[in-house]
């Protein structure tokens, strides 16, 4: 079989290619050459980009077999996530690749502002010895205000505490326990602006945070205070900042990001009390290598059909190791469920998780169930990304139910659905033993315990003597070996359910003959082979 094609559209580190390994056909294209990009995308299973390549709706439409878009960095402004989701294409990035680099650049800006390092360098390089003009301030015992105490904010807090500073923070989502753990005093935004000698902002850019530091907030700051932004352009109102710096309402500012980049026409560049850098937050060798290696690993996972924790358009977030073995189990249950439904229209499905698993985030199991259910009944490429969308488009109500009580097994997962004809389908599974063997433990209300196999036959019929001999003989005559079998019933002489595992596929004609021979109410083969 041909290797999956991975298209690299921008310059990435050699370690990125090494991390992909030998299992892929790696091709290169200049992502800014639009015709060449669209042509190469036609045969690509994955594309790796940085910030220059636009992976928009047109590009995604040209890539009929594309399964993953990987951005070797944090931002995703150049990727149409909505179009990717609709097409079932996973979008991944490297959300933690640059956090150390961004935190260190922030500290660099703070130190440069405190000691006038860039201006002093410029003067001396120009032949001027102006020691008194560039007298600065110590960081020791100063108050550092951090707006946004996420991963980068926490790193900055630790680094600034080493200077003997007092660190305060504003973050509407931080708990007091977390702040205490970081050695940071949580305060309101107004208190932070009033108290801080240095302020650094680390918030995502959203409609709510755009321009969150404007004239009103800058007016609350000390005239000796400095403000730094290496997060996202636009968090600080640039017009208001220019006025505050020009009027010396505040002492100075450090910016690595701007509303428009490059900021060629910005009046901020003409001020003496500002330090600017050209969006260098992730511009270190280490950050670039981490980003490339991170997304390369995500591409490997995505192309092998596994769920990627860093996928930005897949619900569920980071998957706990205790939950992870349940993902393939539930996808198989979904395929069994679909086979039992015999392609009848589905109106609702419940994914019920019982046992110790409910102590963890199990939302990924709902995605896995939908991927399994729809994988064999729709023409589209079904992925963890678009499976919920496919259910919504077909009017299928989906619920995730949890219950800590599991009387029979440590954990058990059940898919239960209603069909348009009024009937119901259910199948349950679990993982048993130290080897975590995947087993079916219930089908349509009948208790069984059958290990998964590539070929399953499920049949419902009236319980009576000689039935096993009938289907055993017909399968034997056709050269099909029964590897395992279990029969379940509620009462003698009532309806019985048999689940068989066989070593090879069963021809459709033989299935029809078997059904007639035993007058089956249901007889289906479910193929779980890849």
More confident residue, 70 or 384: 70
How confident is the model over 39-45, as a mean pLDDT?
Answer: 95
Question: 204 falls in which pLDDT band (50, 70, 90)?
Answer: confident
Kindly tell me the burial class for residue 115, based on how many C-beta atoms sit within 10 Å of its own C-beta (0-12, 13-18, 19 or more).
Answer: middle
* Least confidently predicted of 37-46, 110-119, 219-228, 489-498: 489-498
Nearest to 145 by CA among 127, 165, 164: 165
Structure confidence by residue, pLDDT tens digits, 456-482 = 999 999 999 999 999 999 999 999 999
- Greatest mean pLDDT among 91-95, 155-159, 171-175, 361-365 lies in 155-159
Q: Please pick, among 279, 380, 449, 454, the residue that the annotation labels catalytic.
A: 279
> Is the CB of residue 140 less than 8 Å from the CB of residue 164?
yes
The first and second tokens of residue 250, run together, are: 């505040």
Distance from C-alpha of 289 to C-alpha of 286, rounded to nearest angstrom: 5
Backbone angles phi, psi at 509, to 5 degrees: -65, -40
Total residues found in the chain within this entry: 530
Q: Is 232 labeled as catalytic in the residue annotation?
A: yes
Residue with tokens 């975590």: 436
Q: Please pick, among 261, 356, 392, 408, the residue that the annotation labels catalytic.
A: 261
- Greatest mean pLDDT among 161-165, 286-290, 291-295, 514-518 lies in 161-165
Kindly tell me the burial class for residue 62, based on how many C-beta atoms sit within 10 Å of its own C-beta (0-12, 13-18, 19 or more).
Answer: middle
Name 248's Cβ contacts closer than 8 Å, sequence gap at least 6: 223, 273
More confident residue, 312 or 159: 159
Structure confidence by residue, pLDDT tens digits, 426-441 = 999 999 988 899 999 9
Residue-range domains of the chain with CATH: 5-96+286-303 (3.40.50.720), 99-276 (3.40.50.720), 317-452 (3.30.1330.90), 454-530 (3.30.70.260)
Q: Please pick, among 71, 116, 202, 232, the residue that the annotation labels catalytic.
A: 232
Largest CA distance in the chain: 106
Q: Cis peptide before 434, with omega less than 30 degrees from 0?
A: no
Asked whether residue 249 carries a pLDDT value surpassing 80, the answer given is yes
How does strand 46-49 pair with strand 522-527? unpaired
Name 465's Cβ contacts closer than 8 Å, sequence gap at least 6: none
Distance from C-alpha of 97 to C-alpha of 107, rounded to nearest angstrom: 18
pLDDT at 379: 58
Asked whether residue 513 carries a pLDDT value surpassing 80, the answer given is yes
Alpha helices (runs of H) in 342-436, residue ranges in sequence order = 363-374, 387-393
Question: 374 falls in which pLDDT band (50, 70, 90)?
Answer: confident
pLDDT at 178: 85
Structure confidence by residue, pLDDT tens digits, 9-36 = 999 988 998 999 899 999 999 999 999 9
Structure confidence by residue, pLDDT tens digits, 301-353 = 888 877 787 788 876 556 778 888 998 999 999 999 999 998 778 899 999 99
Q: Is 261 labeled as catalytic in the residue annotation?
A: yes
Distance from C-alpha of 302 to C-alpha of 296, rounded to nearest angstrom: 10
> Is the CB of residue 236 less than 8 Å from the CB of residue 260?
no
Q: Compute, in degrees rounded to 10, the torsion defined by CA atoms 267, 271, 273, 279.
A: 50
Average pLDDT of the residues of the chain: 91
DSSP annotation of 375 reads T
């Amino acid at each position: 079989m041909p290797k999956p094609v991975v298209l690299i559209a921008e310059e990435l580190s050699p370690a990125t290619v090494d991390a992909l390994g030998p299992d892929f056909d790696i091709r290169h294209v200049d992502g800014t050459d639009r015709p060449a990009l669209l042509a190469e995308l036609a045969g690509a299973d994955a594309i790796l980009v940085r910030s220059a390549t636009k992976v928009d709706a047109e590009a995604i439409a040209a890539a009929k077999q594309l399964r993953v878009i990987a951005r070797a960095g944090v931002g995703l402004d150049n990727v149409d996530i909505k179009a990717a989701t609709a097409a079932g294409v996973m979008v991944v990035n490297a959300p933690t690749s640059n956090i150390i680099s961004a935190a260190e650049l922030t500290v660099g800006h703070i130190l440069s502002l405190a000691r006038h390092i860039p201006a002093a360098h410029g003067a001396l390089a120009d032949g001027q010895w102006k020691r008194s003009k560039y007298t600065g301030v110590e960081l020791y015992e100063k108050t550092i205000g951090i707006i946004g105490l996420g991963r980068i904010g926490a790193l900055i807090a630790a680094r600034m505490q080493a200077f003997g500073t007092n660190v305060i923070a504003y973050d509407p989502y931080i708990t007091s326990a977390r702040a205490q753990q970081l050695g940071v005093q949580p305060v309101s935004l107004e208190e932070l602006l009033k108290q801080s000698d240095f302020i650094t902002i680390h918030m995502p850019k959203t409609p709510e945070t755009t321009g969150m530091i404007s004239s009103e907030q800058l007016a609350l700051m000390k005239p000796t205070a400095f403000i730094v932004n290496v997060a996202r352009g636009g968090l600080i109102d640039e017009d208001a900042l220019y006025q505050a710096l020009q009027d010396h309402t505040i002492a100075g500012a450090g910016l690595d990001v701007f509303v428009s980049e490059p900021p060629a026409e910005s009046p901020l560049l003409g001020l003496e009390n500002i330090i600017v850098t050209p969006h260098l937050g992730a511009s270190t060798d280490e950050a670039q290598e981490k980003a490339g290696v991170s997304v390369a690993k995500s591409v490997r996972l995505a192309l092998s059909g596994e769920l990627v924790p860093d996928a930005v358009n897949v619900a569920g977030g980071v998957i706990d190791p205790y939950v992870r073995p349940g993902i393939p189990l539930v996808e198989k249950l979904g395929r069994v469920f679909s086979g039992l439904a015999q392609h009848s229209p589905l109106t609702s499905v419940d994914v019920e998780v019982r046992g110790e698993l409910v102590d963890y985030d199990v939302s990924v199991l709902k995605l896995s169930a939908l991927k399994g259910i729809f994988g064999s009944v729709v023409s589209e490429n079904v992925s963890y990304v678009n499976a919920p969308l496919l259910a919504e488009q077909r009017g299928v109500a989906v619920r995730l139910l949890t219950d800590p009580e599991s009387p029979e097994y440590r954990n058990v997962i059940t898919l239960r659905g209603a069909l348009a004809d009024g009937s119901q389908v259910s199948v349950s599974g679990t993982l048993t033993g130290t080897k975590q063997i995947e087993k079916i433990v219930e089908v349509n209300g009948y208790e069984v315990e059958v290990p998964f196999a590539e070929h399953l036959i499920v049949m419902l019929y009236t319980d009576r003597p000689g039935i096993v001999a009938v289907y055993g003989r017909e399968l034997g005559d056709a050269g099909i070996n029964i590897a395992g079998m279990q029969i379940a019933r509620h009462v003698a002489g009532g309806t019985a359910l048999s689940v068989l595992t066989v070593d090879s596929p069963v021809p459709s004609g033989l299935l029809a003959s078997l059904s007639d021979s035993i007058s089956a109410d249901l007889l289906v083969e479910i193929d779980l082979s890849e």
